[in-house]
Structure 1
């Protein structure tokens, strides 16, 4: 029996052309990962398709596999949560208590071990929620989402920033903190991500430089601000700059060429690799509270805050101030 194709479907699913490409690849004895790359799908999806779509004799025939997929997609049985008011009520109550679909599913298995009609897997709950079967107010995730996020499981995403040099390639002398000139940088973000301030801190002396960003904090604005506002730093104190993988430093190569900094990037979700900067950002929140509008602060305001921090004694420096520590290495514009 040939099942009529209902038409366009979500790109998350395999099309008939995809299945033909899989069949051709298997016939040519190509590796599954190579087949997956040729159709833009994850190799896990292709493995599952081959296992699920093969005939009883083990042979994968794309037209037969596509026909079976269409039969499965029809789902002649009604949705479980649509037909069961007790189940729907229980799930809605737990969602109102801020339970996740995974927690609800496990609770149903414990509370109703002998009642299959009162069981639902997390995906069933998600589908019912996104279809509006659980109501607008009560049927809501803790995140507030009302739509499914686009999934890219198994598909490697390209680096956000091209030509990054990772922190593992940074010179060993940076870790020793014996020679100044190695900086860590980041942004602190204001209310609604509408404003930001750049923060630079020198690792050896804990000397702080704040970057004023009055025109926003996208890559071109951050590039221009760092270039202009670090121009007074002597070249011998501009050795390296370590940053996280934020998109604001997409133009890092231009910053390197025009400042002299050699820029290194931390691993994703690894703030401890910029521990000095993270600590400094915590101190700065005394002046720039979270959730506040940072655009109200002028360049002079930032200079005054940096001056206060640089004249505050630090235990890690033997109760010297960052300014005093910097003066021990160099006298000049930085110590004014």
Structure 2
């Protein structure tokens, strides 16, 4: 038997029966309704004094049904252009939240283009089964990273300064030039790795192809990128206690950057690069042979990440904030600028 909504007369009957101290089970029996339906109806339609209000209950139920029948923006026959834009961003691995932020900034005077991330998710999962849906849904998945510690024990005499000595401005995220670093590893048989540099203020990412996982390769790779940073934008780097950073003094000599180390087993002390590693697994899955990658491929991946709007940047992308702050703007000013075409 299909479910039918309570009518206005039934709600008035419920109110009278409650006033006569009838039990909800007895009311349900007299109406031929499930007792659970009556309990739920009474619970959600009582005022602050616990009094059931049938008129208010019926008006609210009518309003809820009207809202439920309203076509969502992305399902409207007029929304082909909007869906094309949303789909394009989804295929570039943008999240629905990032797309919603971008639409607000890119089309501020077009109310029909203002859709929430919830609406985008809803539309995706209403798509018919097929290759398109599989591709889009796969782009939404982010597998958590179970990071294997590179710490091999005590006796790391090359570790000089821990994170507690790092300048306070690195914690405040008000100035460019404070980085977090890490290696992203592939399969056990893959000799190569990807160096990851995450700038804490702008959230901008740089990726570096490393032929091997050793300290000398890390020194060459990180130094080559840091040396090209603009003047004043190469201040500190925070790293875990992995042995690949044993040549950190050579990196400092080559670039002027100061390297600080996290406490053992404390990945949250450089949470930005840890989160970035999770995003990178969309492109560089576990088990992949990193030695087959080219630097150009890594550059393209970094560019995609750096062009995505971030909630922490008020809908701006890392590239936008990086560019504005290099031009002399403060972080607050950079995150309040209009949409920048990069």
**TM norm structure 1:** 0.51
Name which of 210, 213, 220 aligns with 2:207: 210
What is the total number of aligned residue pairs between the two structures? 177
* Counterpart for residue 305 of structure 1: 301
Name the residue aligned to 1:51.
Answer: none
Whether 1:316 and 2:312 are equivalent positions in the alignment is yes
Of 233, 236, 240, the match for 2:236: 240
- Between stretches 177-186 and 220-229, larger displacement belongs to 220-229
Gaps of 5+ in 2: 1-152, 329-340
> In angstroms, what is the RMSD of aligned CA positions?
1.8
Q: Once the 2 structures are TM-superposed, how far is the Cα of residue 231 of structure 1 from its aligned partner?
A: 2.0
Contact 2:227 2:254 in 1 (8 A): no
Q: Secondary structure at the match of 1:263?
A: strand
- Whether the 8 Å CA contact 1:235–1:260 is kept in 2: the answer is no
Residue 323 of structure 1: CA displacement? 0.4
Residue 264 (structure 1) aligns with:
260
Deviations 1:169-214 (A, max 9, x none): 111111101111100000011100632100001000000011111x
User: Does the 8 Å contact 2:209/2:221 carry over to 1?
Assistant: yes
Compare relative contact order (CA 8 Å, sep 6+) and give the higher one, 1 or 2: 2
Following TM superposition, where does structure 1 have runs of at least 4 consecutive aligned residues deviating by more than 4 angstroms?
none
The whole-number CA distance in structure 2 between the counterparts of 1:256 and 1:209 is 18
Secondary structure, aligned partner of 2:325: coil
- The aligned residue for residue 291 of structure 2 is 295
Alignment partner of 1:198: what SS? Answer: strand
1:306 shift after superposition:
0.6
1:198 aligns with 2:195: yes
Distance 1:326 1:191 in 2: 33
Is the CA contact 2:178–2:201 (under 8 Å) kept in the aligned structure 1? yes
Asked whether the equivalents of residues 159 and 246 of structure 2 are also in contact (C-alpha less than 8 Å), the reply is no
Query: CA–CA distance in 2 between the matches of 1:161 and 1:295?
Result: 30
Q: How far is 1:229 from its partner?
A: 2.4
Structure 2 CA distance for aligned equivalents of residues 161 and 218 of structure 1: 17
CA displacement, residues 213-247 of structure 1 (integer Å, 9 cap, x when unaligned) = 1x212011110111112221113110100000000
SS of the residue 1:237 aligns to: coil
Select 1:179's aligned residue among 151, 154, 175.
Answer: 175
